[in-house]
């Protein structure tokens, strides 16, 4: 067998292998990057930058995985926003069911830390499920629910978390709380507080306008907002059964 033929066979096998990997998601699921790579991703549960303070079970990669229809509609939202120098930023997409159980264990561990209070300044974490802030069986696990925000592409979004700095809780003014590289929605992401409710009266007019802008942009493609979380949206009819497959690195 000559060298050229060997190389061709190797390339063919590599292509087959890559295709098999790309098809390893359950039917109907896609990596959002394969649908629209311009949508910014900051998958918080794949990092320590979240209310638990570590990656959650099942988050093996910081990738947004969604149902295909959801991804296509997000692409349409992004196209409308890009004309306004704005972008979506994804905080969470498909969530393995095991991650929700991880949240349950965290809520029952008997500890209330300063990191917990940064996200839950007034509500004991044992009450978060009863009050509807976290669900033990999440819509996220169907691939049809999302947590997201808006980014002003003309703004300076370069601020990063300083480990040596003591940040205020999620209801504090934007300059005092954890930087998120996004517009000021009045609270940080995952802020379990009345101020995080979409129609909260305690936010200022500019923050209210940004929330309305996000809700309007998403509603145009059929997404529905959850009233207790300005960042949470779902697409009715696109869900179905909950899944528990882990999120793995995406490969071409």
Q: Residue written as tokens 């947004």?
A: 64
Q: Which of 210, 64, 204 is nearest to 150 (CA)?
A: 210
Domains of the chain listed by start with CATH number:
28-234 (3.30.1380.10)
What six digits make up the tokens of 99? 């991650």
Percent of the chain with pLDDT over 90: 78
Sheet arrangement for strand 224-226: 40-41, 86-92, 145-152, 229-234, 224-226
Q: Which of 149, 127, 140 is nearest to 214 (CA)?
A: 149
Average pLDDT value over all residues in the chain: 90
- What's the pLDDT tens digit per position in 107-137? 888 888 887 889 999 988 888 888 888 888 8
The pLDDT assigned to 235 comes to: 97
The pLDDT assigned to 16 comes to: 34
With a cut of 70, list the residues of the chain below it in pLDDT: 1-23, 252
- What's the pLDDT tens digit per position in 214-243? 999 999 999 999 999 999 999 999 989 999
Q: Residue written as tokens 């528990």?
A: 244
Beta-sheet strands, E only, within 77-193: 86-92, 145-152
């Amino acid at each position: 067998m000559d060298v050229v033929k060997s190389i061709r066979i190797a390339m063919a096998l590599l292509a087959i292998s890559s295709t098999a990997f790309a098809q390893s998601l359950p039917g109907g699921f896609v990596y959002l990057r394969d649908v629209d790579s311009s949508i910014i991703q900051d998958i918080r549960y794949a990092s320590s930058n979240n209310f638990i303070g570590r990656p959650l079970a099942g988050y093996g990669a910081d990738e947004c995985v969604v149902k295909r229809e959801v991804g296509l509609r997000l692409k349409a939202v992004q196209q409308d926003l890009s004309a306004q120098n704005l972008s979506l930023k994804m905080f969470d997409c498909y969530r393995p069911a095991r991650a929700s159980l991880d949240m349950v264990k965290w809520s029952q561990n008997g500890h209330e830390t300063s990191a917990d209070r940064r996200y839950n300044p007034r509500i004991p974490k044992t009450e978060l499920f009863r009050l509807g802030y976290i669900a033990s069986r999440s819509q996220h696990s169907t691939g049809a629910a999302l947590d997201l925000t808006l980014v002003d592409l003309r703004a300076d979004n370069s601020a990063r978390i300083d480990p040596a700095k003591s940040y205020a809780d999620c209801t504090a003014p934007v300059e005092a709380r954890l930087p998120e590289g996004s517009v000021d929605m009045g609270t940080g992401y995952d802020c379990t507080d009345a101020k995080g409710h979409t129609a909260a009266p305690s936010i200022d007019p500019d923050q209210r306008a940004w929330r309305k802008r996000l809700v309007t942009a998403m509603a145009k493609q059929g997404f529905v907002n959850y009233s207790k979380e300005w960042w949470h949206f779902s697409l009715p009819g696109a869900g179905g059964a909950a899944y528990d497959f882990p999120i793995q690195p995406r490969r071409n």
